[in-house]
Amino acid sequence: MNKVLRASLIAAGLMTSSVAAHAACGIEGGRVNIIGNEFPAIQTIGAGAVACAGDGVEITANLTKEHKELQVPGLSGDVAEYTVAIVANSSIVPLMSNGLIRPLDDLIAKHGGNFGDNQKITIGGKTMAIGFMANAQHLVYRKDILADAGIEPPTTYEEVLAASKMLKEKGAMKYPFGAAYAAGWGIAQEFNNMFIGMGGEFFKDSTPMPNVNNEKGIATLEMMKAMTTQMNPDFLTLNNNEINAEWKAGNVAMMQMWGSRAGPLLAGEETAPGVAENTVLAGPLTAGGGSIPATTLWWDGFTIATNISDEDAEASYLAMINAIDPSIMNDEVATQAVWMIEGYEPTPASAGVFATINAGAQPYPMIPYNTHLHSALGEELPDFFSGNESAEKTLADVEAAYMVKAREAGVAGL
Amino acid sequence: MLLFIFLPIISVVTQSLHIEHEQVFVEVENCDFFGCKKSTMVDVEATAAIKAEKPLGRFVGLENYFNRSHFASSELAQAWRTTDSFGEFYDQVYNLPLYRAIIFTLVYTFTVTPLLIILGFIIAIAVNSLHQRLKGLVIFFSLLPMIVTPLIGSLILFWMIDSRGIIGSFLQQFFNDPDLSLKASTPLMWITLMVYGVWHSAPFAFVIFYAGLQTLPQDTLESAMIDGASRWERIRYVVIPHIAPLVTFVALIQLMDNFRVLEPIVGFNASAHATSLSSNILNDLGGESQLFASAATTSVITILGVVVLLSPVLYRTWRDWDRKV
């Protein structure tokens, strides 16, 4: 009831504000249809764009978890269904590979926009997207539990492991560490993080040949396996939502979590007493004595479809520029993300992501064939963690599975 | 028939014989908030030109069928050469995605189908002997597992069997093993999935058998009673022969259904321990790297599997029908 009421109020608000906003957006005509993910920050952006509708300008947004499946088909075709795709550094790659998004330089030259040069995402010298927020996975810990046990806040995986063993021995907690190790995308992403932290390179000298079956890959798997001894034994089935629920229930003392999910953890709704006020967002962890943080940096930004009329492209650009204008910033919006928008004052919820950026973490690799390696990792790693096979065998399987997928998808030279 | 069955099959077979054209790569510099980096990208124009010439992709014959994701001929041959015992060879085979899926799918199908037929039959006999007034209520409750959407049903159970959930912690207490986790061990996960499968499908068998019981020839039953047949003998020699055609029907439908097992694997997040042919197809189609040819190949293999699986039952039905005519 409450949600329905709120949604209708927002809708009503948008309808009345659209007339007033029309002049501000400067759209003369055309069609705007947005596809994107559905977390709160993206919803704010979507609502900002929809607010430009009115006087023959139709603006709609489809913000959904299934955005990855819909993006490529939705932007293909002679006239694309969606004119705008809100993407991250992984999901821009399939759009780029199929030529479905257009360079924005002409539109920027013609209409300008209230954003900084650092927000332009350029690929081969062309601006392909305009970014508005950053994201990363980083350590979150409970300061009360660590302080009670006399443990300094950890900065490396080795320290987390030692701290966790200590908490376990003292009986403070059964499974002190949490991370989204669910089979599939999640465990593959944790492998990516740790592998980067160990100083690994995913591909051999910028060829599409995989490069994970080596000492660094083995060290990565062994470190991850050591961490799983400190996790809920169901770890292969637990995603971010379940790990967050465990955190809120007070069952976990340290976890690896996304910055974009930090706001609700600090707000403390539906949380056991004493958890939220003791939740600290720390920086990234390192591993194996390396100095590169064992995590990846992510950005979110908007792109505009190739297969639409220039009028629609202009309308889309103007609506999106309006949505990421610095004037959207207020107290509530500020807590939703680490915004790359001018005038954003970091809130406590952003501490972890900023610490990760400052620690020199690497961005998630924007390479066309990386998606196949990610999916091969997601399928083959669980065998190692359920104790069925050795690290070498698993990594050999990962590379073999990757080769088949990449060849089928048309990666050259395989 | 032509539009909805024949054409899709033709399309799937065609797709399974092709793979994507080779992409043309270029080295470019990417810049974002976090700095600039040299990276490989697809040269869109050059790749599109190749695609325009041959939109179906590269024809590769049966390559998709024999690569590692499917029948894995070379991996299989190598495993045969390098292993000494059957156990080792089995481990190698189980490690290959298609065989792993087939093994689970077959074990699931051939465990769940007979069990659900037996359970459905027992429920039908039990309900049939209830007092007339109770029947309606009991039938309604017995049907609930089938009414609940499979995905929702398995999600609910997923939480209940969690090591902190109601069933999970009961089992820990019962076996006095605080580390017992249904989700962490492959055999326990398989058992859970099969118990779920029986739970979900038994009502279907029950309804069919219950309907069959309403047409039981009362004369035969009564004369059997006069002859001194026990309850078990009546079931064995009167009831079972009477509903035997229905058993064939239920087996036919359930073999097909169970062979396409998918929802419990998704609902239980069980892909680490169990994969099926359908979950492999879903995996290929989902996410950012959509592998249509691989999915098409697995689909063709599934269709062949269903045909092989159903051939004895279909043959029997055809023979019975032929005899009656």
Q: What is the pLDDT of residue A22?
A: 42
Query: Is a pLDDT exceeding 50 seen at residue A250?
Result: yes
**Pairwise CA distance, residues A402 & A394, whole Å:** 12
A118, B181: Cβ pair inside 8 Å? no
Partners of A365 in the β-ladder: none
pLDDT for A365-374, tens place per residue?
988 899 999 9
Partners of A31 in the β-ladder: A58
- Name which of B271, B286, B289 is nearest A183 (Cβ-Cβ): B271
Of A313, A338, A353, at which residue does a domain stop?
A353
Q: What is the DSSP letter of B145?
A: H
Compute the C-alpha angle B306/B311/B315, nearest 5°.
150
Q: What is the pLDDT of residue B73?
A: 93
B69, A404: Cβ pair inside 8 Å? yes
Q: What is the pLDDT of residue A387?
A: 82
Compute the C-alpha angle A301/A125/A134, nearest 5°.
25
Q: Does A397 touch chain B (CB under 8 A)?
A: yes
In order, the DSSP letters of B92-137 are HHHTSHHHHHHHHHHHHHHHHHHHHHHHHHHHHHHHHTS-HHHHHH
What burial letters (b/e) apply to B54-71, b meaning 16+ CB within 10 Å?
eeebbebeebbbbbbbbb
* A240 and A384 both lie in a single domain: yes
Contacts of A123 in chain B (CB under 8 A): 28-30, 41
Asked if residue A66 belongs to a domain, the reply is: yes
**Pairwise CA distance, residues B268 & B168, whole Å:** 13
A236, B272: Cβ pair inside 8 Å? yes
Determine whether A302 is exposed, middle or buried from the number of CB atoms within 10 Å of its CB (0-12, 13-18, 19+). buried
Give me the domain span that covers residue A288.
136-296+358-408
**Pairwise CA distance, residues A291 & A308, whole Å:** 46
Choose from B288, B290, B298 for mutation: most chain A CBs within 10 A.
B288
B95, A206: Cβ pair inside 8 Å? no
**Pairwise CA distance, residues B112 & B273, whole Å:** 18
Chains A, B: CB contacts within 8 A come to 174
Asked if residue A414 belongs to a domain, the reply is: no
**Biggest alpha carbon–alpha carbon distance for chain B:** 93
Q: Does A150 touch chain B (CB under 8 A)?
A: no
* A98 and A244 both lie in a single domain: no
Q: What is the pLDDT of residue A312?
A: 94
A124, B26: Cβ pair inside 8 Å? yes
Q: Does A54 touch chain B (CB under 8 A)?
A: no
Contacts of A238 in chain B (CB under 8 A): 269
* A21 and A102 both lie in a single domain: yes
Q: Does A116 touch chain B (CB under 8 A)?
A: no
* List of residues 6+ apart from A106 with CB closer than 8 A: none
Asked if residue A266 belongs to a domain, the reply is: yes
The β-bridge relationship of strands A254-258 and A177-178 is parallel
* A248 and A378 both lie in a single domain: yes
**Pairwise CA distance, residues A149 & A168, whole Å:** 11
* A155 and A70 both lie in a single domain: no
Average pLDDT, chain A: 90
Q: Mind telling me how many Å the CA of A11 is from chain B's nearest CA?
A: 31
Asked if residue A235 belongs to a domain, the reply is: yes
Pick the closest to residue A299 from A340, A341, A358 (CA basis). Answer: A340
Partner A, chain B 157-186, Cβ-Cβ below 8 Å: 158, 162-164, 179, 181, 183-186
The β-bridge relationship of strands A254-258 and A338-339 is unpaired
Task: Report how many domains make up chain A.
Answer: 2
* A280 and A292 both lie in a single domain: yes
Partner B, chain A 221-240, Cβ-Cβ below 8 Å: 232-239
Pick the closest to residue A248 from A142, A361, A120 (CA basis). Answer: A142
Q: Return the CATH number of the domain spanning residue range B100-324.
A: 1.10.3720.10
The tokens describing B81, both together, are 């050469």
Asked if residue A413 belongs to a domain, the reply is: no
Phi, psi angle pair for B145, to nearest 5°:
-55, -30
* A89 and A238 both lie in a single domain: no
Determine whether B149 is exposed, middle or buried from the number of CB atoms within 10 Å of its CB (0-12, 13-18, 19+). exposed
pLDDT tier at A412 (50, 70, 90 boundaries)? confident
* List of residues 6+ apart from A374 with CB closer than 8 A: A90, A185, A188, A189, A192, B289
* A255 and A303 both lie in a single domain: no
Q: What's the predicted TM-score (pTM) here?
A: 0.88
Q: B98 to chain A: nearest residue by CA?
A: A401
Q: Mind telling me how many Å the CA of B286 is from chain A's nearest CA?
A: 7
Q: Does B39 touch chain A (CB under 8 A)?
A: yes
Phi, psi angle pair for A30, to nearest 5°:
125, -175
Query: Is a pLDDT exceeding 90 seen at residue A28?
Result: no
Task: Report ipTM for this prediction.
Answer: 0.87
Asked if residue A87 belongs to a domain, the reply is: yes
A134, B37: Cβ pair inside 8 Å? no
CATH number at residue A402: 3.40.190.10
* A151 and A86 both lie in a single domain: no
* A315 and A288 both lie in a single domain: no
- Name which of B21, B164, B288 is nearest A410 (Cβ-Cβ): B21
**Pairwise CA distance, residues A89 & A121, whole Å:** 10
Q: Mind telling me how many Å the CA of B29 is from chain A's nearest CA?
A: 5
Mean pLDDT, chain B cut into blocks of 10 residues (325 residues total): 89 94 90 88 89 90 94 93 91 93 96 96 92 89 88 88 86 87 88 94 94 91 90 91 92 91 91 93 83 95 90 81 70
Query: Is a pLDDT exceeding 60 seen at residue A17?
Result: no
Choose from A128, A202, A234 for mutation: most chain B CBs within 10 A.
A234
Q: Does A21 touch chain B (CB under 8 A)?
A: no
Contacts of A237 in chain B (CB under 8 A): 158, 183, 268-270, 272
* A179 and A246 both lie in a single domain: yes
Written in H, E and C, the secondary structure of chain A is CHHHHHHHHHHHHHHHHHHHHHHHHCCCCEEEEEEECCCHHHHHHHHHHHCCCECCEEEEEEECCCHHHHHHHHHCCCCCCCCEEEEECCCHHHHHHCCCECCCHHHHHHHCCCCCHHHEEEECCEEEEEEEEEEEEEEEEEHHHHHHCCCCCCCEHHHHHHHHHHHHHCCCCCCCEECCCCCCHHHHHHHHHHHHHCCCCCEHHHCCCECCCCHHHHHHHHHHHHHHCCCCCCHHHCCHHHHHHHHHCCCCCEEEEEHHHHHHHHHCCCCCCCCHHHEEECCCCECCCCCCCCCEEEEEEEEEECCCCHHHHHHHHHHHHHHCCHHHCCHHHHCCCEECCCCCCCCHHHHHHHHHHHCCCEECCCCCCHHHHHHHHHHHHHHHHCCCCCHHHHHHHHHHHHHHHHHHCCCCCC
Contacts of B56 in chain A (CB under 8 A): none
- Name which of B25, B30, B67 is nearest A404 (Cβ-Cβ): B67
Q: What is the pLDDT of residue A16?
A: 42
A386, B184: Cβ pair inside 8 Å? yes
Q: Does A37 touch chain B (CB under 8 A)?
A: no
Pick the closest to residue A116 from A132, A136, A105 (CA basis). Answer: A132
**Pairwise CA distance, residues A100 & A35, whole Å:** 13
pLDDT for A53-100, tens place per residue?
887 888 999 998 888 888 988 999 899 999 999 999 889 999 998 899
Q: Does A391 touch chain B (CB under 8 A)?
A: no
Q: Does A164 touch chain B (CB under 8 A)?
A: no
- Domain ranges across chain B: 100-324
Q: Does A97 touch chain B (CB under 8 A)?
A: yes
Q: What is the pLDDT of residue B325?
A: 60
A407, B19: Cβ pair inside 8 Å? yes
Choose from A187, A237, A297, A385 for mutation: most chain B CBs within 10 A.
A237
In order, the DSSP letters of B147-158 are HS-HHHHHHHHH
Q: A90 to chain B: nearest residue by CA?
A: B288
- Name which of B20, B29, B32 is nearest A410 (Cβ-Cβ): B20
Q: What is the pLDDT of residue A149?
A: 94
Q: What is the pLDDT of residue A173?
A: 93
Phi, psi angle pair for A12, to nearest 5°:
-60, -45
Contacts of B187 in chain A (CB under 8 A): none
Q: Mind telling me how many Å the CA of A156 is from chain B's nearest CA?
A: 22
**Pairwise CA distance, residues A137 & A135, whole Å:** 7
Q: What is the pLDDT of residue A12?
A: 45
* A156 and A290 both lie in a single domain: yes
Tell me the residue type at A8. S
Choose from B21, B24, B32 for mutation: most chain A CBs within 10 A.
B32
**Pairwise CA distance, residues B59 & B36, whole Å:** 39
Angle between helices A391-408 and A215-228 (to 10 degrees): 110
Contacts of A339 in chain B (CB under 8 A): none
Query: Is a pLDDT exceeding 60 seen at residue A188?
Result: yes
Helix, coil or strand: residue B183: coil
**Pairwise CA distance, residues A372 & B19, whole Å:** 15
Asked if residue A320 belongs to a domain, the reply is: yes
Contacts of A385 in chain B (CB under 8 A): 272
**Pairwise CA distance, residues A99 & B119, whole Å:** 56
Q: Does B291 touch chain A (CB under 8 A)?
A: yes
Partner A, chain B 45-84, Cβ-Cβ below 8 Å: 45, 47-48, 57-58, 64, 67-69, 75
Q: What is the pLDDT of residue B74?
A: 93
**Pairwise CA distance, residues A85 & A101, whole Å:** 9
CB atoms < 10 A from the CB of B285, how many? Answer: 15
Q: What is the pLDDT of residue A388?
A: 78
B272, A401: Cβ pair inside 8 Å? no
**Pairwise CA distance, residues A401 & B302, whole Å:** 21
What burial letters (b/e) apply to B239-260, b meaning 16+ CB within 10 Å?
beebbeebbebbbbbbbebbbb
